[in-house]
Amino acid sequence: MKKNKWKIPLYKVLNDEDDVKAVSKVIKRGMDWAIGPEIEKFENTLAKYIGTKYCLAFNSGTSAGHAALLCYKLGLNSEILVPSFSFIATANWPLMVNSKPKFLDIDKTTYGLDPEKLENMISKSTKMIIPIHYGGLPCKISEIKKIAKDHKIALIEDVAESIGAEINNKKVGTFGEMAVFSFAGNKVITSGEGGAIVTNSKEKYEKLKLIRSHGRKVSKNYFSSVQTPEYLELGYNWRMSSITAALALSQLNKINMLIKLRRKNAKIYKKKLKNSQEIQTHSEPAQYKHVYQLFSIQLQSKSKRDGLMRFLTSRGIMSKVFFDPIHMTQHFSVYKVKNQHLAMTEKISERILSIPMYPGLTKEEITMVANTINEFVEQQ
């Protein structure tokens, strides 16, 4: 399959004239492309949507996560509990602050950290837990939060894939001390690249502002002020630009519609695939709201999963594995983990496959994907 020749790609961005106008407005004014009013407006709108006091925008979810960990006193002996079933940035963040990632297994329902296995993995060196909300579905974050509180361990949520997801009408991103978001190209809302942190801690909010922009104490726009700023500590250039913020804000303004379309498409998929005993879809527990950043299915074995992936490719339908276990990558081979501790991670990783999911996916396209999957199953 030639690049960009998919009949049905894994994702497409639903954009409109509002997105174009928002970006164009910033470009046409000829100034404040780096630091303009769109950034603060986006931050305020996102904080209000999630339900937190503070929000800071970053140039990526990865830099946002790095900044979040820099707010804590972590070191060489600090242990940070993370899933292996995630994008690699989640496990890289501890390394970025000279700490040790410790991989935990996932639960078979949400594909998030399993709280039943969490307690036994906590040691005297454990300083933090970073659970992810996989593919749009909340993990068992309430149970994880209780364990973190009982052991006085910091809790940071990785919400990169699940903005808008809820448990009992409470949005993910409000359970931990901080939460990290990503607005990369395949996310629920996207600005191409971008990230954010939300928190209710003013202390951490002020710290994050320094980290994000060179350790600089800022009272006015650096590029339009004649004042010489004071630099208080080591910082980085992790700011989101005004152009990016304008697009992110435009996307955020239609998030309810985007989620509604994703949920509608997921419902059609489940109806079309429900008669197959070979296919398991990602269930939505009671009181949980899934926003379907991904639509992932499980097959009965790795060989069948790989066979379906090849079959879909032959029909011009893209699919992808989210995720292969991080602890099995070459990069993390030095962090040896006994297989029995991550049995569910490895089992699900061998069987899982994400199929096309995006707001603009038509019923006809969903039917084509589902029929192709059903055809493959019937041939087995």
Task: Tell me which amino acid residue 177 is.
Answer: E
CATH architecture under which domain 17-252 falls: 3-Layer(aba) Sandwich (3.40)
CA distances from 143 to 90, 135, 286 (A): 20, 19, 15
Name the CATH topology of 255-379.
Aspartate Aminotransferase, domain 1 (3.90.1150)
Predicted model pTM: 0.95
CA distances from 50 to 12, 177, 249, 253 (A): 24, 13, 14, 13
pLDDT of residue 3: 55
The residues spanned by each domain of the chain are 17-252, 255-379
With contact defined as beta carbons under 8 Å apart, do 90 and 158 qualify?
yes
With contact defined as beta carbons under 8 Å apart, do 198 and 173 qualify?
yes
pLDDT tens-digit map of 143-199: 999 999 999 999 999 999 999 999 999 999 999 999 999 999 999 999 999 999 999
Reading across the β-sheet that carries 178-182, which strands appear in turn?
Answer: 54-58, 195-199, 178-182, 154-158, 126-129, 79-83, 100-104
Task: Tokens 């999963």: give the residue.
Answer: 305
SS3 breakdown of the chain: % helix, strand, coil, rounded to 5? 40, 15, 45
Q: How far apart are CA 325 and CA 282, in angstroms?
A: 18
**Element spanning 37, H or E:** helix 37-50
Angle subtended at Cα 63 by Cα 3 and Cα 115, rounded to the nearest 5 degrees: 95
Query: Which stretches of the chain drop beneath a pLDDT of 70?
Result: 1-4, 219-220, 224, 226, 335-340
Q: How far apart are CA 85 and CA 103, in angstroms?
A: 9
Alpha-helix residue ranges (DSSP H) falling in 241-362: 242-252, 255-273, 302-314, 343-351
E-strand spans in 87-237?
Answer: 100-104, 126-129, 154-158, 166-167, 170-171, 178-182, 195-199, 216-217, 230-231
pLDDT of residue 186: 97
